[in-house]
A and B are shown apart, each in its own frame.
Chain A
Amino acid sequence: MRPENYEAIKQPPSNEFELNFGPNHPGIEGNYAFRVKLNGDEVLSARADAGYLHRGFEKLMEGRLWIQNIALVPRICVPDPVPMEVCYSLAIEELCGLEVPERAQWLRVMQLEMSRLAAHLFAFGGHAATTGMYTPMFWGVADRDLILDRFEELTGGRVYSIYNIPGGVRRDMPDGFLDRLESLLDYLDSRLADYDNLFFRNQVFIKRARDIGTMSQEQALKWGVTGPNLRATGLAFDVRRDDPYLVYEKIDFDVVTEPGGDALSRNLVRRAELKQSIRILRQIIKHLPSVKGPVRCPIPNPLAWNVPAGETYTRVESSKGELAYYVVSNGGDKPYRVHVRGPSSMHAVQVLEKLAVGSRLEDIAQIMFSLDACPPEVDR
């Protein structure tokens, strides 16, 4: 006889099972994981499992001098580090009332666009790999390396350039840099057709990516989606144009949108942005030589630098979306609080969890790469 309070253990139906997707999985970006519940290969639910890459950046920043953090922030997002430096510097400049010389502003925009190019090459290469096409990935990585060469020349570092500091940039560009940048742009321009032929017009990609991970514009806005992912739902919003910072107002570029809201649209937006970034860089190459002057305004001794008490929220358009720093100073030589609004936090957690439901197991990687989510930035 069973006791009165007996309750049978509820077993999941035998056709459902849980699978750990990552953190060691070729289809996942970085150290990140999903716990997915599957029926066959259909995803019933997905739960983001972050934290493998948590380094506590926001807390670490509170213990370091304002200037020391410039070496820390680029590590928050490895593929696109420059916006981190620029956004952090903008925040301090706003708190201190520093006026960044115009030349430094142009140099910053130049790096931001170089970094965007590099990040987008990385992103579409990664997406291609998730659909089994490895050549675009190799191409993307190889061509990104050519951009890193220019970063090395300009900033002294290939990946973490640590070139922007509050007040401007650390040093002027080397002689002949713009010529070499221009020939790189010529090369990348010529490569766009190759990318199209191999990937963006490839039916394997188009058929796999179309209608995968689709979200509507309303959903996107509700979920906090920004950047190319938002523009792929048809909404033309870009911080560079709608809340311009640095010298973006003086630069001519289009905010490209796609109506689909699916993985295909997101990639196409990125593809179009490659072209826009090249266009912006060409304008910079033309304009920068006429902007003379220093590349940094005077700043106090970094070891004895009290930033006036206050708080500020600065945002920039990174390759992933809207990146923002909320910085609070209590008037001390270290930040009181720094919060990073990383676009990937939304894309890789709440958005991906929702978009994965109903899709097939093999598409999870594709959706994630199409969102260009960056796990180091989620974890921070």
Chain B
Amino acid sequence: MSDIPYKDKGSILGPFKSLGFFSRKPVTEPFEPRIAADNYRGFHVNDWDVCIGCSTCQKVCDNAAITMVKIPGLPDDPVKGIRNERPAIDYGRCCWCGLCVDICPTGSISLTQEYVHTCREDELDSYFILPDPKGMHNKLFPKGWSKSEDADLVDLERQHMAEMEPQSRSDNFDEIVDGFTDQQAIIEASRCVQCGMCHDSCPTNMHAPEYIRAIWEGDAEEAVRQMYRSNPFSHVCGRVCTHRCETACSIGRRGDPVAIRWLKRYAMDAVSDERVREIAAEGKADFISGKKIAIIGSGPAGLTTAFDLAKNGHAVTVYEALEKPGGMPRYGIPEYRLPYDRLDADIDVIKSVGVKIECNVRIGSDISMKQLRQDFDAVVVAIGLQQGRSTRIPGSDHEQVRSSVDLLRMITAGESFDVPESVVVIGGGNVAMDIARSLARMQKSQYGKVAVTVSALEDFDHFLADPEEVREAREEGVVILDSRGPRECIIGKDGKLEGLTTLGVISIFDEDGRFAPSYDEADEQLHPGSMVIESIGQMSDISLFGEELTEELEWNRGRLQADENGVTSVSWLWSAGDMVHGPDVVHAVADGHRVADSIETYLNKE
């Protein structure tokens, strides 16, 4: 029972109680604008310097109130993961829920403490606004609902990738990372906001949002299908890609970017090789065009070109000088990063669409370019960068001063050489890490200890190798020295190499930004080693062209001149891959597609 004595009729004097109201303070609302609460969800403001135009706000908006509008003049750089689009809000639809704020990967968008907007009938457009940092009426109201840790809906933490412990991996070439489990892959894939920054930044524009979505849906086959739209080297890229996608990932603005590369690896491993071959062959032309194309070099660029052209019904022959196809991924990347059977799986898929690969055939000596010109409708040179550059410091002509690419090739090919007990590597890029870590493994298994010193020109803030490579190399016992320039390879009286002396680096570039390192002569160190390995860059072996063709072709500072489609100055010859764009698998794949398209157009014109 309620406690209201409603049956009590009260006193006749009751109404006089109301006189007491005369003494109360009247309730009035002041004319001046009311101060809103600190968390108030008022009108939007957007910090354009922080916003990257990823459109995640648009995706979460439950009323479709957000439209992305292109703003000319704002930075638009796919590689950095920035678009020149900014959200515009339709206040006829907005319900001020603030989900756009909570899901914003960058934290650029907030709601202000501003209450009121009104307009005349002819100003209805004023309800459609493009929020900028100044606010709806340029009145700079304080921020209300903005990014907070409690309300953040972005999952900033990446799934942990299990890997071998340094002790157990340091004397063998087993693959280091374990790969995601099904559950991990689904969780990792679920972190993606489908902004497509990864797609835009990828040199070959892989359909990462689509395959991540497919992985999240548990459909690895669909993920593979999406990958083969743009990359026949998905096993390779799933392991050793330079993952620009992750650099551009919008989640990476405040947290760990989505592990796109590992997700690719997961999907490729989750589907059987046979099924991958079936998926890759989907869309293959059901006719034979009668055109013949020769491709020199079986690396990612050459084989991607071959894959595309073979799918279009052309007869493609790939010539490889070495024993096995694969190019740098096979002969340059150590097995602990890219197991050979995964590379073979990629190549098998490419072969399965009809690409013929002839190994142990060196163009220039076994078959001449002239012969190729006669036998084929088009020729592609994709020979990569297989010769190491030399520092040309005193003593660098000693036989124990080797090039990293040569040694890496020998390790893969199983050619024997005397593993040095101590070694110094010159260079600070990923190739330097590869050879250092490979030799460290061989030393560990032969001698039980590691004595590898890497001396790099760059300091650690500007290091060329990936941070994880540096970390893992250190874990395996490799000593890495930064800001050291090579001076001389010291040769003893007995003619044996004793080590390398280096100088401290003062600066690497001159005032004009040209490469001209200057050293501190007083800061000299000797790094003892019975072998010195130069790993300061690679170049192409262009002897295959022969004198006549070399004359005919145009060159640009030692590199073959080609337009963006790989067309050289000779109409039947294309070039692709590292020899044009420098060392990177995914660039080579992108190049392969472009060259294939260009050849397709050329053949159709004929």
* Residues from chain B with Cβ under 8 Å of A298 in the complex: 155
Chain B residue, CB-CB nearest to A302: B153
* Residues from chain A with Cβ under 8 Å of B60 in the complex: 65, 67-68, 302-303
Interface residue? A51 (CB, 8 A):
no
* Residues from chain A with Cβ under 8 Å of B576 in the complex: none
* Residues from chain A with Cβ under 8 Å of B605 in the complex: none
Contacting pair A301 B191 (CB below 8 A):
yes
Known: A162-B98, A268-B6, A295-B150. A304 touches B190 (CB 8 A): yes
Contacting pair A304 B37 (CB below 8 A):
no
Closest beta carbon of chain A to B578's beta carbon, Å = 37
Interface residue? B43 (CB, 8 A):
no
Q: Which of A149-157, A320-328, A347-355 contacts B (4 or more CB under 8 A)?
A: A149-157
Known: A156-B37, A157-B41. A170 touches B150 (CB 8 A): yes
Q: Which of A2-10, A34-42, A91-99, A196-204 contacts B (4 or more CB under 8 A)?
A: A196-204
Contacting pair A156 B4 (CB below 8 A):
no
Q: Which of B7-15, B121-129, B497-505 contacts A (4 or more CB under 8 A)?
A: B7-15
Please provide the chain B residues from 167 to 222 with a CB less than 8 Å away from any CB of chain A in the complex.
187, 189-194, 213, 216
Known: A170-B150, A171-B150. A201 touches B37 (CB 8 A): no
Chain A residue, CB-CB nearest to B111: A156
Interface residue? B59 (CB, 8 A):
yes
Interface residue? B438 (CB, 8 A):
no
Q: Report the Cα distance A268→B9, complex, angstroms.
A: 16
* Residues from chain B with Cβ under 8 Å of A67 in the complex: 60, 99, 153
From A154, A206, A256, A303, contact of B103 by CB (8 A): A303
Contacting pair B98 A156 (CB below 8 A):
yes
Most chain A C-beta atoms within 10 Å of own C-beta, residue among B5, B18, B39: B39
Please provide the chain A residues from 263 to 284 with a CB less than 8 Å away from any CB of chain B in the complex.
264, 268-269, 271-272, 275
Chain B residue, CB-CB nearest to A264: B6
* Residues from chain A with Cβ under 8 Å of B153 in the complex: 67, 299, 301-302
Chain A residue, CB-CB nearest to B194: A303
Interface residue? B145 (CB, 8 A):
yes
From A65, A142, A156, A272, contact of B39 by CB (8 A): A156
Chain A's interface size range is 35 or more
* Residues from chain A with Cβ under 8 Å of B10 in the complex: 201
Chain A residue, CB-CB nearest to B103: A302
Contacting pair B62 A64 (CB below 8 A):
yes
Contacting pair B97 A152 (CB below 8 A):
no
* Residues from chain B with Cβ under 8 Å of A259 in the complex: 1
Contacting pair A170 B151 (CB below 8 A):
yes
Interface residue? B369 (CB, 8 A):
no
Contacting pair A171 B151 (CB below 8 A):
yes
Interface residue? A105 (CB, 8 A):
no
Interface residue? A172 (CB, 8 A):
yes
Q: Report the Cα distance A302→B111, complex, angstroms.
A: 20
* Residues from chain A with Cβ under 8 Å of B102 in the complex: 170
Contacting pair A153 B39 (CB below 8 A):
yes
Closest beta carbon of chain A to B226's beta carbon, Å = 16
Please provide the chain A residues from 129 to 166 with a CB less than 8 Å away from any CB of chain B in the complex.
142, 149, 152-157, 160, 162
* Residues from chain B with Cβ under 8 Å of A153 in the complex: 37-39
* Residues from chain B with Cβ under 8 Å of A160 in the complex: 95-97
- Which positions in B face A, CB cutoff 8 Å? 1-6, 8-10, 14, 17-18, 27, 36-41, 56, 59-60, 62-63, 95-99, 102-103, 111, 144-145, 148, 150-151, 153-155, 187, 189-194, 213, 216
Which 9 A-B pairs have CB atoms at the shortest separation, nearest pair first?
A: A272-B2, A68-B62, A71-B97, A171-B150, A156-B39, A153-B37, A304-B190, A156-B41, A268-B2
For this complex, 5 residue pairs linking A to B, each with C-beta atoms less than 8 Å apart, are: A72-B62, A162-B98, A170-B151, A174-B37, A268-B6
